[in-house]
Structure 1
Amino acid sequence: MENEAGTAPDVAPRQPSWYRRPRFVGPLAGCVVLGGVLLLWPFGGSGGGGAAAPAPGARAHAAVRTGVTAALPDLAALIEEREGRVREHPRDARSWAVLGTAYVEQGRRTADATRFPKAERALRTSLSVAPRGNAEALGGLAALANARQDFRAAKTWAERARAAAPGRWTTYPQLIDACTGLGDYKGAQAALDRMLRLGSGPAVLARAADVYWERGRPEDAQAALSDAAAGAGSPAEEAAWRERAGRLAFERGEREEALRSFEEAVRLDPDQRAALAGQGRALAALGRTEEALSAYRAALDGQPLPQYALELGELYEARGLAGPAAEQYGLLRERVREDTAGGVDGALVLGRFEADHGDPAAAVRRLRVEWRRQPGTAVADALGWALHRTGAHEEALRFAAIATDRVHGGAVRSAPYVYHRGMIERALGKSAPARRHLAEALRLNPYFSPLHAPVARAALAGLGEVPDVEPPE
């Protein structure tokens, strides 16, 4: 199989300067990098003085192979083209791999888990035709496993892809996601370091931003995402990076900045449903409830993720609208069942839902299994909170500490995680740490949840002021 790192000009043998000292690299550099990738593809130019515009399928092909977001119409064109190709040439391993990876991206963008079994069949067909050195199919299977939230399988496939083509930088984002999902933060950092030595450009910057955020470096994360958006090669790609930037801004409590990023993402790509859900969060935080409800409903229309249904249900509940909230919670359960049929692991979102709105004991059972399988920070937080909701506060605190302890990967300083820890400490009568963590949660993001942020404020007020005494030695 062709080694992508050997042909694409965005693969460099040295570490990019922005990584040694995080800063803005400027839009021109990013555009040149991605432009170089796109111009290498055989788009079928006219041979005249100017290059012909790439066809939709070619645009999506370039995006899929370089790990960036493709527009949904372009993805559909690529899939139609590759389906026709493999019908005529069933032993074309490259086309099977591209088709399978395109199915993964389409399923991820539309929350259509029925795409995933088709993706798996295509990718395994590619491997059966070309079992040796087929890094593209192996990387596609890693992407599929990550999309299904099966991080252990994703790590296995990513490591096989890396062994098949060590210089192929596009393998490393999948390895980073898998390591993060398994709570292996040293592994994620090592994969990032290797990726930075092999590649550069917007996709690398954006992936680095994810790791920076997880490691408690929000300024570096935001700078890297700004550079990625400036260097994007298509509206859909830029929209994806601006959506991520909006997410980081919201998690810092910056409502207006988050809303601007989300609105720009939707302007660039109306199919960017994650940005519509982000608008819902930001608008709710700004008190613009009706607009927030509309944004969430639009997001769910195009990408019916269980997480969006949970957020919309909690917004309804916070406004005292029990009926619409129950409708969204029912949709969440239905979506998890449908996703499970497509191989998606919905244990985390279902556990979070059950802990607050269903059966906390069932949430504990489900999340204990998930913790044994893939012990990431998000699972530690969810399991700790579910245990607290069943009254098992001592054990709950152990998991909440893992989710918020910098030594164990809790450097992200998530407001919901810190809130959960503070409420657990309050239940245990640990007033001083409870006061400290509840205050920190509200300082990180006073608007982290329309349902739980008011509870945090009330709990903090109930703990009273810090006693005016000398701290112990």
Structure 2
Amino acid sequence: MENPLQSPAPAPPVRPRRPFPLPPLLRRVLLVLLVAGGVLGAVLLAPPVERPAVRAPAPAPGPGPGRAALTALSAGAPASPPGLTALIAERERHLRAQPRDARAWAVLGVAYVERGRRTADGADYTRAEAALSTSLRLRPEGNVRALEGLAALANERRDFAAARSWGEKALRVEPGRWTAYALLIDAFLGLGDHEAAQEALDELLRRHRSPAVMAKAAAVYWSRGWREDAAAQLSDAAASAASPVERAAYLEQAGRIAFERGNLREALRYFDTALRLDPGLRTAEAGRGRTLAALGRTAEALTAYRRALAQQPRPEHLLELGELYQSLGRRQEAAAQYALLRTRIRHSAAAGVDEELVLGRFEADHGDPESAVRRLRAEWRRQPGTAVADALAWALHRAGRDQEALTFARRATETAGGGGVRNALYAYHRGMIERSLGRPGPARRHLERALRTNPCFSPLAVPEAQAALAELGEPPVTGAPGDVTGR
């Protein structure tokens, strides 16, 4: 039996093998192949050689709010705050890596303009100007996106002459570009050139149809006094809007038109629906406050105004709230709003925003009418729009210059002067000016028109209009007034 612990027998020794002799020629071939293989291996294993980077265009945001915001802005539609935040963050991140991407700078600038419009924060307009100017410097030729962005920025700053110039430059780069026509319409309306606005709209409608274009058509129709057509366009725009934020914007615009027509409950319904769709739409909140005040629901109106101003302190809304407080006899609170208005206008002016129209209106009624005349006369020279004509007329009246005031009041209220819009405040101003000039017939007619257009157009002016009409009394039963034409 074999002992398992016993060591195994030693293995036989292994004899080394003798190398197979190679002919000299074959040895030389193998040596060459070995050297070549070593060089190839070194090349394959070596780190890659750095080449100059090829600058790629900014990638579009991935699926999500940033992509939705970019799509909305490209279509001339409003974008949501989360979408704007995402889009701005993405473009800023990209530009830190690719600072010479002109297109990304243009998109960033347009996004800043839209955010500034929503928040009334002038700092965003300053950022937008820097981004768009950088884009234009990097690509001075053919940069239509930067040109349109600068037109949009100028419109938001109420520099309508500059907006017209940038919009026309965009059209020279790309004739027929529909978004440029949309921007030019805002500029022409601000400049009081209603014929040019209508021509631009006609061209726009030939080239493109969308909810944004319907809303633009509504603005032109309203400026010409076609109230039903304007309301119909906004109804269609809201019905076909691509997003809740876009639909809310058109409903807010419809609410303003309904208020101007004196349809208060309809206006409130529009504003409420807009806020449900877009809770951050502060212009709808201010419109809600305006309408609630007209309905006599004062406590709710004050709450709505405060909510609107907490996040978006627009000077025109500060003026409205101050006048509401004043109508309630709460003069100290009114004075506080007026002080905030002055502060806000200074901040806006520092960011390049023209608030002379609002400041002129404020000074005419609550400050220095002579200062209002100087400011509004200069504004009229810069951009003679309908709203400026009305404000200057009223400032001249408050400064005791009624004959000159009537000239501008006519421009604001007569179709021949471009003032086709049916606005209760404009009619009230003209009626009061005519009353001061001793023209009872036209005064009565325009004061009645104001109250018929919107019986609750202003908490301060409506009682004044009613008192003036009572003082003027009924028209004479026989005989036609000598100034029946109002001239």
Taking structure 1 as the reference length, the TM-score comes to 0.88
Amino acid at match of 1:427: S
Q: 2:241 aligns with which of 222, 232, 237?
A: 232
Q: In the TM superposition, what is the alpha-carbon distance from 1:457 to its structure 2 partner?
A: 0.9
Q: In the TM superposition, what is the alpha-carbon distance from 1:405 to its structure 2 partner?
A: 1.0
Amino acid at match of 1:56: P
Deviation sequence 1:292-348 (CA, Å, 0-9, x none)? 000011111111100000000000000000011001000100000000000001110
Amino acid at match of 2:231: Q
Amino acid at match of 1:112: D
Amino acid at match of 1:166: P
Q: In the TM superposition, what is the alpha-carbon distance from 1:470 to its structure 2 partner?
A: 3.1
Measured in 1, the distance between the counterparts of 2:171 and 2:64 equals 31
Residue 77 of structure 1 aligns with which residue? 86
Q: In the TM superposition, what is the alpha-carbon distance from 1:178 to its structure 2 partner?
A: 0.7
Rg (Cα) greater in structure: 2
Residue 122 of structure 2 aligns with which residue? 113
Answer yes or no: is 1:125 the counterpart of 2:121.
Answer: no
Residue 297 of structure 1 aligns with which residue? 306
Measured in 1, the distance between the counterparts of 2:255 and 2:114 equals 21
1:203-222 equivalence runs, <5 A: 203-222=212-231
Measured in 2, the distance between the counterparts of 1:458 and 1:75 equals 49
Amino acid at match of 2:450: A
Residue 107 of structure 2 aligns with which residue? 98
SS in 2 for 1:158: helix
Q: 1:145 aligns with which of 137, 154, 165?
A: 154
Q: 2:461 aligns with which of 434, 449, 452?
A: 452
SS in 2 for 1:114: helix
Q: In the TM superposition, what is the alpha-carbon distance from 1:84 to its structure 2 partner?
A: 0.8
1:369-408 equivalence runs, <5 A: 369-408=378-417
Q: In the TM superposition, what is the alpha-carbon distance from 1:167 to its structure 2 partner?
A: 2.5
Measured in 2, the distance between the counterparts of 1:111 and 1:377 equals 23
Residue 56 of structure 2 aligns with which residue? none
SS in 2 for 1:175: helix
Q: In the TM superposition, what is the alpha-carbon distance from 1:216 to its structure 2 partner?
A: 0.8
**Larger RCO (alpha carbons 8 Å, 6+ apart):** 1
Measured in 2, the distance between the counterparts of 1:87 and 1:165 equals 30
Contact kept in structure 1, 2:254 and 2:270, CA below 8 Å: yes
Q: 1:340 aligns with which of 326, 338, 349?
A: 349
Amino acid at match of 1:126: S
1:48-63 equivalence runs, <5 A: 54-63=63-72
Q: In the TM superposition, what is the alpha-carbon distance from 1:172 to its structure 2 partner?
A: 1.3
Residue 31 of structure 1 aligns with which residue? none
Residues 108 and 472 (structure 1 numbering): CA distance in 2 closer, same or farther, change over 3 Å?
closer
Q: In the TM superposition, what is the alpha-carbon distance from 1:472 to its structure 2 partner?
A: 6.3
Measured in 2, the distance between the counterparts of 1:126 and 1:198 equals 27
Amino acid at match of 1:87: R
Q: In the TM superposition, what is the alpha-carbon distance from 1:43 to its structure 2 partner?
A: 6.6
SS in 2 for 1:411: coil
Amino acid at match of 2:158: Q
Measured in 2, the distance between the counterparts of 1:197 and 1:332 equals 42
Q: In the TM superposition, what is the alpha-carbon distance from 1:88 to its structure 2 partner?
A: 1.2
Answer yes or no: is 1:414 the counterpart of 2:407.
Answer: no
Contact kept in structure 1, 2:327 and 2:459, CA below 8 Å: yes
Measured in 2, the distance between the counterparts of 1:43 and 1:388 equals 55
Contact kept in structure 1, 2:441 and 2:481, CA below 8 Å: no
Q: In the TM superposition, what is the alpha-carbon distance from 1:42 to its structure 2 partner?
A: 6.5
Deviation sequence 1:377-407 (CA, Å, 0-9, x none)? 1111000000000110000001101100111
Measured in 2, the distance between the counterparts of 1:395 and 1:78 equals 51
Contact kept in structure 1, 2:286 and 2:317, CA below 8 Å: yes
Measured in 2, the distance between the counterparts of 1:121 and 1:414 equals 38
1:189-208 equivalence runs, <5 A: 189-208=198-217
Contact kept in structure 1, 2:188 and 2:194, CA below 8 Å: yes
Answer yes or no: is 1:165 the counterpart of 2:174.
Answer: yes
Measured in 2, the distance between the counterparts of 1:472 and 1:321 equals 42
Measured in 2, the distance between the counterparts of 1:390 and 1:471 equals 32
Q: In the TM superposition, what is the alpha-carbon distance from 1:174 to its structure 2 partner?
A: 1.2
Residue 37 of structure 1 aligns with which residue? none
Question: Greater shift after overlay, 405-414 or 256-265?
Answer: 405-414
Taking structure 2 as the reference length, the TM-score comes to 0.86
Measured in 1, the distance between the counterparts of 2:470 and 2:182 equals 43
Answer yes or no: is 1:443 the counterpart of 2:452.
Answer: yes
Answer yes or no: is 1:310 the counterpart of 2:319.
Answer: yes
Measured in 1, the distance between the counterparts of 2:123 and 2:342 equals 17
Measured in 2, the distance between the counterparts of 1:330 and 1:174 equals 33
Q: In the TM superposition, what is the alpha-carbon distance from 1:176 to its structure 2 partner?
A: 0.6
Gaps in structure 1 of 5+ consecutive residues: 1-40, 45-53
Q: 1:327 aligns with which of 336, 347, 372?
A: 336
Measured in 1, the distance between the counterparts of 2:365 and 2:137 equals 46
Measured in 1, the distance between the counterparts of 2:449 and 2:321 equals 25
Deviation sequence 1:72-108 (CA, Å, 0-9, x none)? 1111111011111111111211111110011011111
Q: How many residues align?
A: 424
Q: In the TM superposition, what is the alpha-carbon distance from 1:227 to its structure 2 partner?
A: 0.5
Deviation sequence 1:61-81 (CA, Å, 0-9, x none)? 111111111111111111011
Gaps in structure 2 of 5+ consecutive residues: 1-58, 483-487
Measured in 1, the distance between the counterparts of 2:61 and 2:343 equals 42
